[in-house]
Amino acid sequence: MNTEHQNALAPFVDRLIARSVLTATEQEAILALPSQHVEVRARHDFVRLREEVTHSCFIASGLVARFGQSRDGLRQITAFHVPGDMADLHSAIRPIGLGGLTALCDTVLLKISHSDIRTLASQYPAVAEAFWRDCMLDAAILMEWITNIGRHDARARLAHILCEMALRYGRGCAAASYPFPVTQEQLGDAASLTSVHVNRSLRGLREEGLADVRKGKVEIMDWEGLVRAGEFDPTYLVADTAEGRQKRLLAAV
Amino acid sequence: MNTEHQNALAPFVDRLIARSVLTATEQEAILALPSQHVEVRARHDFVRLREEVTHSCFIASGLVARFGQSRDGLRQITAFHVPGDMADLHSAIRPIGLGGLTALCDTVLLKISHSDIRTLASQYPAVAEAFWRDCMLDAAILMEWITNIGRHDARARLAHILCEMALRYGRGCAAASYPFPVTQEQLGDAASLTSVHVNRSLRGLREEGLADVRKGKVEIMDWEGLVRAGEFDPTYLVADTAEGRQKRLLAAV
DNA sequence: CGAGCAATTGAGTCGCATCAAGCTAGGTGG
DNA sequence: CCACCTAGCTTGATGCGACTCAATTGCTCG
């Protein structure tokens, strides 16, 4: 345990203040959270399915997937987490139930104990509110994920995932290019497709001039086209930045 | 707006105290929330997709579905809400983003204004905590839903949904029989199947002696068998009742 | 008693899974 | 510096689960 990584949490605070109002004091209190630096190798599950945990994991660098699993071991990725995300903030309030976490590439985590998070949240109601709201953004992404898996064909599913990640990497506006170190097998686990079909569908997107996914990088060639192909509506990701939504509900006067 | 329906909120409090500790004062404060009695006809969307709302809806009686939609109007049901649920509690903290709500049969709602919920949450941190935890249970159900849709065949998907609803109607232990007034078309919207295939798959479950779904009622003939068929693991629904998990995080001493 | 929606059944088709090879590139050791 | 190894990518052939289209049979209710 050390406290040298205070600055490393800055992206997390940025993420929170995009959707919630936090005073300088509250922001500093978050930055001052003690954290434990942990390095995780690619393909290692650092939170197992249905395991009860005592820490939440901030992603400092790398890429993480949340997953569920069917009886026969088939994995279903339910969310990707990029640097700056607190992958399982929710576990602080409910220490079980949202699946396992696995590192898709070599990843650096900052683990923060639930008790520290709880103490902070009880001390600053506005921080609790920001945490709660952040959890609900994650839930909104989950809901969109269901619609994507359930109602789109292979091409649209992949396009949708690429759109979502572009917005999340781009912090508001879509990134034209971003690192995405996943295998086609793992993309298949996310989109409920086999790696074979992912391969053919990605080739399709490339030949259509929409996007190129290669060697752990995504290049978006035609954003509008990709949005159309994925039937992607960014409302659910960006709505909170609209004025008036950044309220201090719990810390109301 | 009236306040005569205080007792009607009792199931909501019951639901909360199954997972969080609330004092008598806090419970009474929730029961005292002013609510607006609203009756909704079957098949009516009372919260439209991506609409910003000012109230949360408690289900007093009936059945409600949360849904997303693809471009061509194909619906995807992402959750069912039974009487006792606050269908969109999340909207109090984030007034947009978790899909629309539609009544599957004639339904009675109690609408509670966000500002009242916010005031209550700011006044009683333990209530805010209970609300937050309840939202995370919903999120856990969403995650399980993704794995179900993405990794199971038609038979298992339907069995899984029947298991989930049995536990939620049974409040902890599985109900052997419960009302479920949905058409096969709507079951298809939930399981990402066509009504034709739902029909054939339900017939399969019936012929296997697992469950009988007919005329808005579910009769479970073989619970263990149905659990196996749906690869259903109830952990995600019941874990909070384990001792030690009912903490008062925000209201810590 | 007819209107209308839901359930049921059948036949034909298609998207994606499955199975099975190669292929490629980066890494490793002799 | 080359031979090998392995993980991931690519491609082809074949089969099945679920969709589609279409018709018929209940139900329920005015």
Q: Provide mean pLDDT across the span A19-41.
A: 93
Q: Provide mean pLDDT across the span A5-23.
A: 86
Burial of B222 (0-12, 13-18, 19+ CB in 10 A): middle
Q: Kindly list the residues from chain B whose CB atom is less than 8 angstroms away from the CB atom of residue A151.
A: 68-70, 74-76, 192
Q: Kindly list the residues from chain A whose CB atom is less than 8 angstroms away from the CB atom of residue B143.
A: 66, 68, 78, 97-99, 142
CB-based contact A90 B150, cutoff 8 Å? no
Q: Kindly list the residues from chain A whose CB atom is less than 8 angstroms away from the CB atom of residue B142.
A: 139, 142-143, 146
Residue A241 has pLDDT above 80, yes or no: no
Residue B162 has pLDDT above 90, yes or no: yes
CB-based contact B151 A74, cutoff 8 Å? yes
pLDDT at position B2: 47
pLDDT at position B79: 96
Between A240 and B157, whose confidence is greater?
A: B157
Interval A84-109: pLDDT, tens: 999 999 999 998 868 999 999 999 99
Q: Using CA atoms of B66, B69, B75, B81 in order, give the dihedral in degrees to the nearest 10.
A: 0
Smallest Cβ–Cβ distance between B252 and the set A118, A140, A149 belongs to: A118
Chain B's closest residue to A120, CA to CA, is: B250
pTM value is 0.92
Smallest Cβ–Cβ distance between A97 and the set B66, B149, B236 belongs to: B236
pLDDT at position B198: 96
Question: What distance in Å separates the CA atoms of residue B106 and residue B117, rounded to the nearest whole number?
Answer: 26
pLDDT at position A75: 94
Distance from residue B105 (CA) to nucleotide C5 (C1'), in Å?
A: 14
**Percent of the residues in chain A that have a pLDDT greater than 90, as a whole number:** 77
A127 CA to chain B: closest CA distance, Å? 11
A199 touches strand D (CB under 7 A): yes
Closest nucleotide to A206: CA versus each C1': D10
pLDDT at position B6: 47
Residue A67 has pLDDT above 50, yes or no: yes
B214 touches strand C (CB under 7 A): yes
Distance from residue A13 (CA) to nucleotide C9 (C1'), in Å?
A: 59
B149 CA to chain A: closest CA distance, Å? 7
CB-based contact A143 B99, cutoff 8 Å? yes
Q: Provide mean pLDDT across the span B92-106.
A: 89
Nucleotides of C under 7 A from a protein CB: 5-11, 15-20
Planar angle of CA B120, B124, B125, nearest 5 degrees: 115
Q: Provide mean pLDDT across the span B240-251.
A: 54
Chain A's closest residue to B88, CA to CA, is: A136
CB-based contact B136 A231, cutoff 8 Å? no
CB-based contact A151 B68, cutoff 8 Å? yes
Closest nucleotide to B182: CA versus each C1': C6
Find the range with the poorest average confidence among A181-185, A217-221, B71-75, B225-229: B71-75
Chain B's closest residue to A73, CA to CA, is: B151
Confidence of residue A237 (pLDDT cuts 50, 70, 90): confident
Tokens of B5: 């329906």
Q: Kindly list the residues from chain B whose CB atom is less than 8 angstroms away from the CB atom of residue A122.
A: 125, 249-252
Chain B's closest residue to A146, CA to CA, is: B146
CB-based contact A135 B132, cutoff 8 Å? yes
pLDDT at position A240: 61
CB-based contact A151 B252, cutoff 8 Å? no
Question: What distance in Å separates the CA atoms of residue A239 and residue B1, rounded to the nearest whole number?
Answer: 29
Q: Provide mean pLDDT across the span A217-239.
A: 90
CB-based contact A250 B96, cutoff 8 Å? no
Chain B's closest residue to A89, CA to CA, is: B136
Q: Kindly list the residues from chain B whose CB atom is less than 8 angstroms away from the CB atom of residue A93.
A: 129, 132-133, 136, 249
pLDDT at position A201: 96
Three-class SS of chain A: CECCCHHHHHHHHHHHHCCCCCCHHHHHHHHCCCEEEEEECCCCEEECCCCCCCEEEEEEECCEEEEEECCCCCEEEEEEECCCCECCHHHHCCCCCCCEEEECCCEEEEEEEHHHHHHHHHHCHHHHHHHHHHHHHHHHHHHHHHHHHHHCCHHHHHHHHHHHHHHHHHCCCCCCEEECCCCHHHHHHHHCCCHHHHHHHHHHHHHCCCEEEECCEEEECCHHHHHHHCCCCCHHHHHHHCCCCCCCCCCCC
